[in-house]
Chain A
Amino acid sequence: MTAPAPASAPSHPKGLGTLRVNGTGYDVPLAPDRNLLYVLREELGLTGTKYGCGEGECGACKVLLDGVAVRACQTSVGEVVGHAITTIEGLAQGEEFHPVQTAFVEAGAFQCGFCTPGMILQAVSLLRQNPDPSEDEIRAALNGNICRCGGYFRIVAAVQRASTLLRSAAEAPP
């Protein structure tokens, strides 16, 4: 499977649109029955975004749309043309992890790891809107994400730690 060529021309043949994923543009067909999860995984080879239910009920497929977490399985590609999509593969800056990734590693906040990409992106989205959430706010924000391995405590602890890391980075003098 080869990924479609990165987009070059601004105008598209009929039925194609440009998806901007992790800073790269891809021309993809926009039929209404094509959801973002399918296109990311099967056509762009970005398999870090997971299929857990395809019905909007588990959160394994979450990606960032202009910085806000959405369920890729409930999003048709046509809706997101022109928006910035970030998947788990695009979260780190080169070799440097996002603080939420660092916190998940340090807290050992996964077992099988299958829910982890969705959890991390949901947490990034939460901390962007609410840099210092209470434990209840974290639980509420992440309640749509299932961890069948039951790693909830460590995930909450990781999000708390990430919040501290992010705020101390923001306060640090340049």
Chain B
Amino acid sequence: MTAASSVVPFDLLPVKERPYFEHYGPGLVVVLPAKRPGPSGWGEGGPPHGGAWIHIGEDGRARAFSGKVEVGQGTRTALSLVVAEELRLPLSSVILTMGDTDVCPWDMGTFGSRSMPDPAQHLRTTGAAARAVLERLAAARLGVPPQEIEVEGGEARVRSRPDGGSVSLGELVRGHQEVVIVDPATTHPEPPSSWTRAGHPVEDVASKEVVTGRRRYTSDLQLPGMLHGKILFPPSYGAKLRKIDVAAAQAIPGVVVVREGEFVGVVAPDMMSARAALRAIRAEWESSPQPSDHEIVEFLRQHLAEGEDFWDVLQHETGNVKDAYASAAASFHETYTTAYIAHSPLETHAALAAWQDGRVTVWVGTQTPFRARDALSDALGIPPSSVRVIVPPTGSGFGGKHAAELAIGTARLAKDVGHPVRVVYSRQEEFTQAYFRPMAVIDVRSSVGKDRALTAWEFHVLNAGSAAARIPYRVANQKIDNQPTESPLPQGSYRALAATANNFARESHVDEVAAQLGFDPVEFRLRHLADDRLATVLRAVTEHAGWNPRPSPAPARDGQGRGVAVGLEKGGRVATFVEVEVPDDRHLRIERIVTGYECGAIVHPSNLRSQVEGGTVMALGGALFEAVRFQDGRVLNPKFSEYRVPRFQDVPPIEVLLLDRKDLPSQGGGETPLIALAPAIANAIFDAAGTRLRSLPLVPDGIVP
């Protein structure tokens, strides 16, 4: 592990001028060109991307590169698999470099469930093109036409004649220094229906390192001469530093206090002294009044704002809802809310920075390494080519590791003291200095006609994004929009952020309407569903669960209930079934969860299943009890004993049904499987107890009101 100097990152050089062979030795390099952002946003074929490249070396191995990062979602194995598939190599012969801005393709960031639709497809195309080149080289070598050549297991051989000779891939590219540009229009990757490696269960490529403790996360890295840093943070959101006395901190042996404008940090030879130095700083803060959690809904309604960068504003209108209300047989109006919740990844934020010859390398667990490179370049006043960001394995992110402040602070400290510096957040810092999933307030209004079908649908979202705000049901008159607001806490990206809130509101409301009209909740949904794939998932789940059609609430009043909800987002379709018990003491018990998911052709089935299971557990926390409590800009529960996350004993049996559609493009599975759980639980509670809960978390203390 060295901090490279005087190099230009690959993505900032023209394709043919990148020093592939200096880095990785002679061989064959195949490059898929980048797609730059178009004038009108993403346009056809998905978001902009930095292309893909694969190097086949004299050792016969394939080195592939992706700007995505691995934060526990299993992308490393899934992407390695598609390369292995196209090149027909064993998985162990694929070396995938991820999240290193010096050598990886430019990438927007690892969020939005894009790793399967984008880099997986780019690597498939690049791998297919590489195989075609290898076939041509082998044909020339063995004296047969290219269509006679078969590549398999690291060798090229003559298909029809077992004795026709063979040559290893390493031998084929020996001494080559050839860069081939892929034409995606004429390159055809293997169709999923004939996959032999991808689409089949495999062991995660990092298994052995993980179970032996050898895997090194950012917080585990050490460099020679490395020192330890801490950053001074305000005690409450929005507080301004008025006075500071650092004398006592500076008096601790080995401690250096670094100040640059608003930024204050300490560096010490060991972590204990760094913590002591931070505690020894006497700072006076001026805080401005901030709303607290009990008044937050009113605050958001009164503080509408412009959107920030993660905002995706939606204004959708069809038909005329006013006319529909005028002729409605019945109409309904309810408000749904979701709380601020914390990502609380098990590995807290960590960064390590080292300078060499005016160039800085920052190892940091970020989901957006290229954005971090730009932010570092801006903040430090050096060109992007003088910044390298490397993302080591990261102890989960869930959308919570997008900000670059820690990387910047760490780089400042390292520059000032002239040594590598590592900063690791404490758990309390993780809870108070990270950002949160935005709270949402959603007003829903609907009407039905005399035929008891939905005629109007109004859906107004405050302070959450537009994901899953559109309605997958047929309704002629619709008005759907979202509105940013000011926030009394820092907020940002989160796994299935707005989709969780919007889906909770919609699927709760639809259930309420079905109940009012005396419909079975599944039948009411199927009558309105406009998406066949989603209807198929709903049928599969209710069939598996043994759904007994009848309206809610349950007539028996024995405390048993069941609920269902669906969701369609980011190309994935989910349906969740939940069975609950609400006994006389009102202590909610979740008895059973069935989640069905369909996201096109499945690349890595065991990992997808793991994502659906884990996502369901995460969603369970937000549905039942997770909430950040706050007052005057301070987080009141910054500990695992006070901010409750799901543990072993909280988790009921979860059955996962995966629907594999080999005929459809692969989509992600890290987010959408979460979004139907909360409404399915709320609907099941209503079914069991007749109590309708419209705020997440549903039962913070475990008791149904």
- Interface residues of chain A, those whose CB is within 8 Å of chain B, are 1, 33-34, 38, 41-42, 45-55, 57-58, 60, 87-89, 91-92, 97, 101, 104-106, 108, 110-117, 120, 138-140, 142-156
Question: In the complex, are the beta carbons of A151 and B213 less than 8 A apart?
Answer: no
- Contacts A147-B346, A148-B345, A149-B72: A113 and B210 contacting too (C-beta < 8 A)? yes
Contacts A58-B427, A112-B72, A112-B394 supplied; 5 other A-B pairs, CB < 8 Å: A87-B213, A97-B211, A101-B211, A113-B206, A146-B647
Interface check B649, CB cutoff 8 A: yes
**Complex alpha-carbon distance, A38 and B426, angstroms:** 13
Q: Which residues of B contact A112 (CB under 8 A)?
A: 71-72, 345-347, 393-396
**Complex alpha-carbon distance, A110 and B70, angstroms:** 13
**Complex alpha-carbon distance, A87 and B73, angstroms:** 26
**Complex alpha-carbon distance, A116 and B199, angstroms:** 26
Interface check B639, CB cutoff 8 A: yes
Minimum-distance CB pairs A-B, first 3: A48-B213, A112-B72, A150-B617
> CB < 8 Å: which of B347, B394, B640, B651 contacts A152?
B651
> CB < 8 Å: which of B346, B393, B616 contacts A52?
B346
Q: Which residues of A contact B344 (CB under 8 A)?
A: 148
> CB < 8 Å: which of B210, B212, B651 contacts A110?
B210
A34 closest partner in B (C-beta): B272
Name which of B213, B219, B616, B646 has the most chain A CB atoms within 10 A of its CB. Answer: B213
**Complex alpha-carbon distance, A104 and B651, angstroms:** 19
Question: In the complex, are the beta carbons of A47 and B639 less than 8 A apart?
Answer: no
Q: Which residues of A contact B206 (CB under 8 A)?
A: 113
When each residue 460-483 of chain B gets 1 if its CB lies under 8 Å from chain A and 0 otherwise, what string results? 000000000000000000000000
A116 closest partner in B (C-beta): B210
A42 closest partner in B (C-beta): B271
**Complex alpha-carbon distance, A60 and B206, angstroms:** 19
> CB < 8 Å: which of A1, A111, A139 contacts B73?
A111
Q: Which residues of A contact B607 (CB under 8 A)?
A: 108
- Contacts A1-B226, A154-B613: A114 and B347 contacting too (C-beta < 8 A)? yes
Interface check B520, CB cutoff 8 A: no
Q: Which residues of B contact A41 (CB under 8 A)?
A: 220
Q: Which residues of A contact B613 (CB under 8 A)?
A: 150-151, 153-154
A and B contact pairs by CB, cutoff 8 A, 25 listed: A42-B271, A45-B222, A50-B347, A57-B639, A58-B346, A88-B211, A97-B211, A101-B211, A108-B204, A108-B607, A111-B611, A112-B347, A112-B393, A112-B394, A114-B346, A139-B649, A140-B649, A148-B346, A148-B398, A148-B645, A149-B346, A149-B618, A150-B620, A150-B651, A154-B610
B615 closest partner in A (C-beta): A150
When each residue 644-665 of chain B gets 1 if its CB lies under 8 Å from chain A and 0 otherwise, what string results? 0111110100100000000000
- Contacts A87-B213, A150-B617: A105 and B648 contacting too (C-beta < 8 A)? no
**Complex alpha-carbon distance, A48 and B214, angstroms:** 6
- Contacts A55-B427, A105-B211, A146-B647: A151 and B610 contacting too (C-beta < 8 A)? yes
**Complex alpha-carbon distance, A33 and B271, angstroms:** 13
Question: In the complex, are the beta carbons of B72 and A113 less than 8 A apart?
Answer: yes
Restricting to B315-351, which residues have a CB under 8 Å from any CB of A? 344-348
A144 closest partner in B (C-beta): B647
B221 closest partner in A (C-beta): A47
Interface check B40, CB cutoff 8 A: no
When each residue 589-625 of chain B gets 1 if its CB lies under 8 Å from chain A and 0 otherwise, what string results? 0000000000000000011001101111110100000
Question: In the complex, are the beta carbons of B272 and A38 less than 8 A apart?
Answer: yes
Interface check B259, CB cutoff 8 A: no
Q: Which residues of A contact B646 (CB under 8 A)?
A: 150, 152
Q: Which residues of B contact A105 (CB under 8 A)?
A: 203, 207-208, 211
